[in-house]
Amino acid sequence: MNKIGFSTYNSLADVLSRVESRLGELGLSAHAASMAAGKPDAVRNLRRAVSNGDRRGLTTETLPALAPVRRTTAAWLLEGSGEGAPRSSVSVVGRIGAGAEILPEDEQVPPEGLRELEIDIPLPVGMIAFEVEGNSMWPRYNAGDVVLCRDAEHDPAAISGREAAVRTADGKRDQKTIRRGTAPETFDLESHNAPPIRDVTIAWASPIELIVPSPNARSTRGLIR
Q: What DSSP letter does each residue of 142-177 carry, written as one string?
A: -TT-EEEEESS---GGGGTTSEEEEEETTS-EEEEE
Strands 146-150 and 3-4: unpaired
Same domain, 58 and 151: no
Same domain, 98 and 196: yes
Same domain, 200 and 106: yes
User: How many angstroms separate the Cα of 215 from the Cα of each of 142, 160, 194, 209?
Assistant: 10, 30, 24, 19
Q: What is the pLDDT of residues 175-195, one digit of tens each?
A: 999 999 999 999 999 999 899
Average pLDDT, the chain: 80
Tell me the whole-structure pTM to 2 decimals. Answer: 0.60
Same domain, 139 and 205: yes
CA 124 to chain centre: 5
Instruction: Indicate which CATH number applies to the domain containing 33.
Output: 1.10.260.40
Give the chain's radius of gyration (CA, Å).
22
pLDDT along the chain (225 residues), means of 10: 46 83 77 81 85 66 75 74 67 87 71 78 82 89 92 94 95 95 95 94 94 63 38
